[in-house]
Structure 1
Amino acid sequence: MTPSLSGHYREILKGLGEDPDREGLLDTPERAAKAMQYLCHGYGQSVEDVVDGALAASDTDEMVIVPGIELYSLCEHHLLPFIGKAHVAYIPTGRVLEPSKVARLVDMFARRLQIQENLTRQIADAIEQVTAAAGVAVVIEARHMCMMMRGVEKQNSTMNTSVMLGAFRESSNTRQEFLQLIGRST
């Protein structure tokens, strides 16, 4: 535990007009610091560590899709959560990645302070780097608490972002197949 992090939470409570020494808040700075460290644990991970050699040789050159991966992240502008799903696809060129590692890559990048647009790109770039795929597609649909709890307070809004690399960018048929398949899974 970083003592200064809990100390900062104590100061935040004071800045809000609260008494951090009252019974209900006595342990809050430490709990909040631990929670923030957990929510941002992606900073302590790397693509190499997450993948950990979990690639298998494969002759397939057909689309591999891992749809509906739950994600939880924090908006870097307000430190409020955004919650959604990532749909990831790639076209292998001799190597396939274990599906659990695709989900772990999503989590690694999501567990950093983020904006959804960058998160989508980081996932796509990592999948391309690891697999040397002929194409990678990532679509994220998420609900942002910074838009729901403050500001415009729009409860039913979602944000969708996509990154299409290689064959998914170059071929409208490949892109359309992916979008149709993830449409069936949602």
Structure 2
Amino acid sequence: MWRPRIVHDRRPVDTARAQRAAADLLGALGLSLDDAGLRDTPRRMAQAWAELLAAPELELTTFPNDDGYDELVVVEDIPVRSVCEHHMLPFVGVAHVGYLPGSRIAGLSKLTRVVDHFARRAQTQERLTTQVAAELERRLDARGVGVVVEAEHTCMSLRGARAAGTRTVTSTLTGALHDDPAQRAEFLALVRGRGVRP
């Protein structure tokens, strides 16, 4: 068993400073912190954003592929909760992650943890998709990795275009899942059944 640790480099959270900044922002937006319902909001805002942006450390447990398993492993409907780095508004959805094993296989829960690890930061959906695929390909020595992310961006549904219910779909395919038409088709057929369009 191999357990490399993945750590997100980030400065420590300054909760007091975040709380002051939240109070300044609310005041600048014309909200009165004298109102009973808003009095404690800066503290709650600071805590909420610190939680949303706290990428947990991850030990990516892998095992030797002693049985020589060489077919697709797919985990579907992994929850995605992230924050758009352009507007600092949440985007939420699901990820479908699959890989063709090489010399190592992953503990299945670790695929969900890799998604969460890269989602828990100011992010773009495109970068999130490629980061998950690259990390799994590298750590597993996989013959191919496929990642599809479907998400609704509140920066588009609650403001701007106000296009509620729209989804953005991104994908990254590497190795045999990119190069081999049959492997590519199998992966996309599996995840397409979960709502991904061709």
TM-score range (shorter-chain normalised) is over 0.9
Q: Which runs of 5+ in 2 are unaligned?
A: 1-13
Q: Which runs of 5+ in 1 are unaligned?
A: none
Task: Show the 5 A alignment for 1:11-160.
Answer: 11-42=24-55, 45=57, 49-51=58-60, 54-58=61-65, 59-160=68-169
Secondary structure at the counterpart of residue 22 of structure 1: coil
* Structure 1 contact 10–20 (Cα < 8 Å) conserved: yes
TM-score normalized by structure 2?
A: 0.87
Corresponding residue of 1:5:
18
Q: Deviations over 1:21-77 (max 9, x none)?
A: 3211121111111110110011x53xxx331xx212222111111111011111111
Write the distance in 1 (CA, Å) between the matches of 2:165 and 2:37: 33
* Structure 1 contact 135–166 (Cα < 8 Å) conserved: yes
Write the distance in 2 (CA, Å) between the matches of 1:150 and 1:185: 28
Q: How far off is 1:18 after superposition?
A: 1.2
The worse-fitting range, judged by mean Cα deviation, of 22-31 and 3-12 is 22-31
* Structure 1 contact 71–84 (Cα < 8 Å) conserved: yes
Runs of 4+ in 1 over 4 A off after TM superposition: none
Corresponding residue of 2:173:
164
Q: How far off is 1:103 after superposition?
A: 0.3
Q: How far off is 1:89 after superposition?
A: 0.7
The worse-fitting range, judged by mean Cα deviation, of 16-25 and 96-105 is 16-25
Which residue identity is paired with 1:18?
A: L
Q: How far off is 1:147 after superposition?
A: 0.8
Which residue identity is paired with 2:106?
A: L
Q: How far off is 1:93 after superposition?
A: 0.9
TM-score normalized by structure 1?
A: 0.92
Q: How far off is 1:184 after superposition?
A: 2.5
Which residue identity is paired with 1:37?
A: A
Q: Deviations over 1:108-156 (max 9, x none)?
A: 1111101100010010011112101011110111111111101111113
- Once superposed, what is the RMSD of the aligned Cα atoms? 1.2
Identity in percent: 40
Secondary structure at the counterpart of residue 41 of structure 1: coil
